[in-house]
Amino acid sequence: MINTTIRRFASLVLLCFLALAGRLWYVEITEGPAISSHSSNPRHVALQAGRGRVLATDGTLLAYSDGDRRVYPFGAELAHSVGYVSSRYGASGIEDAYDQALSPPDISGDPLGQLEEIRAAIEGHAAMLHGDDVVTTIVPAIEGELYRRLSRYERAAGIVLDPHTGAVLAIASVPSFDPSAIDDEFSALSIDPMSPLLSRATQGLYPPGSTFKMFTASAALDSGAVTPDSRFEDPGYLVIGNAVLHDNEGEATGDQDVTTAFALSSNVDFGQIALKTGLDTFYEYLQRFGIGAPLDFQIPASSSEVPPKDDVTAGELAQMGFGQGELAVTPLQMALIAATIANGGDEPRPYIVRQIRRGNVVLSAFPAGTLASPISADTADEVKNMMIAVVERGTGTVASLPGVTVAGKTGTATNPHGQPHSWFVCFAPAENPRAVVAIVVENAGYGAAVAAPVARDVLAIALENTLGSPGT
């Protein structure tokens, strides 16, 4: 009886030992690489000195290690895109997306995270354990101008793209935070009602207002539903069943062609244009542009919100035609719509990291690419001419620059949570676009009054840094 009890106990001990050994094997061998490379692994702190650098396109330091301290020279300007790394709160932005490349070899290599460190220490080469450098597409002069202009407002965001390559030349969101102080400030930042941790440029979702007329015009013209010379009547209101849609401030722009309706930003006309385009075609072009689908970008970006097609009534479709209703987009999405028009109908793939380097050796490169070709070159040219008319004789004249043909679109987006959001999206020179700018300022009113001047000033600096100087 006693021997039986002992055998059973011994068997139980053996089973427990085997279970523990199996668990250790699973954690160290199967899950080890993921655990050791995870951005919240405390070993990142011990090895911070060996973490690689994040660089601007011209080599300017955006993040580097000084001993066991991570330094962010641009501070709040690039906090949302470069991100932070913390033993307590993990990592964000590029620091997170490219953590494996930035981390020293012992973290990104073996499962236990020690083999390379021990070997190098034995050989006297511990100082050579460094992560790789991540080279971004950021242009510091453009970034500085964008952030300074946006910082005049409580909540705002903006992005500057090269429309041909999709390279992000500048990106900013306010309010922001100091990434070097994230350990001390994260708790307060995470409950701040102003949401300073939110990257409004890539993750903030807003009704786009009249800037979305760039899309509606593209879909209507490309599908053949209208031509630039098609005429519409705007008496100041549009009756659809039991619903009545209005222009801003009771405006009535009268009888006009599509180009004039676009330049004067007639909601009534663009409600009619959306209805003439039709629900099926409208949603086909949403799909062509990737609006509502996950976006191929190197750091987190929200998908646009589009109501289910089956739920859309005629009144809802008309509202979507001028960027209202249940539609919500990011500034990045609006920049891509403008970039598609500027790029002859090809939608560029946006990217913010262009290389991973080890010393002078390029380990990986991320070249320009195309997401889709949603509209023809002829359609893109027609919409571009409409956008030029906005700046030359429409709602966006404040965005004009001496010696430069600017194409743009204003937007004043009503929302249920306060004053309208102010939008402006533009590119220049229209003949050979080098920079697209998308700006949103929350609860600031008319796009022409607030967002357009910001976009104009940022565009001027972007042209200086991509062309030499405006007008050349």
pLDDT at 440 over 80: yes
- 70 and 156 belong to one structural domain: no
Question: What CATH number is attached to the domain comprising 78?
Answer: 3.90.1310.10
- 93 and 214 belong to one structural domain: no
State the Cα–Cα distance between residues 391 and 377, nearest whole angstrom: 21
Task: Using CB atoms within 10 Å of the CB of residue 3, give its burial: 0 to 12 exposed, 13 to 18 middle, 19+ buried.
Answer: exposed
Range of the domain at 146: 142-175+188-347+370-467
What is the predicted pLDDT for the residue at 415?
84
- Predicted model pTM: 0.86
What is the predicted pLDDT for the residue at 128?
52
Domain count, the chain: 2
pLDDT at 320 over 80: yes
Nearest CA to 328 among 447, 212, 155, 449? 212
What is the predicted pLDDT for the residue at 105?
78
* Structure confidence at residue 236 as a pLDDT band (50, 70, 90): confident
- 131 and 146 belong to one structural domain: no
37 or 223: which carries more pLDDT confidence? 223
What is the predicted pLDDT for the residue at 339?
98
* Structure confidence at residue 109 as a pLDDT band (50, 70, 90): very low
What is the predicted pLDDT for the residue at 397?
96
State the Cα–Cα distance between residues 262 and 270, nearest whole angstrom: 8
Q: What is the DSSP letter of 294?
A: P
What is the predicted pLDDT for the residue at 25?
54
What is the residue-wise DSSP string for 357-369?
A: EETTEEEEE----
Question: What CATH number is attached to the domain comprising 314?
Answer: 3.40.710.10
* Three-class secondary structure assignment of 320-359: HHCCCCCCEECHHHHHHHHHHHHCCCCEECCECEEEEEEC
* Structure confidence at residue 364 as a pLDDT band (50, 70, 90): very high
State the Cα–Cα distance between residues 403 and 472, nearest whole angstrom: 8
9 or 118: which carries more pLDDT confidence? 9
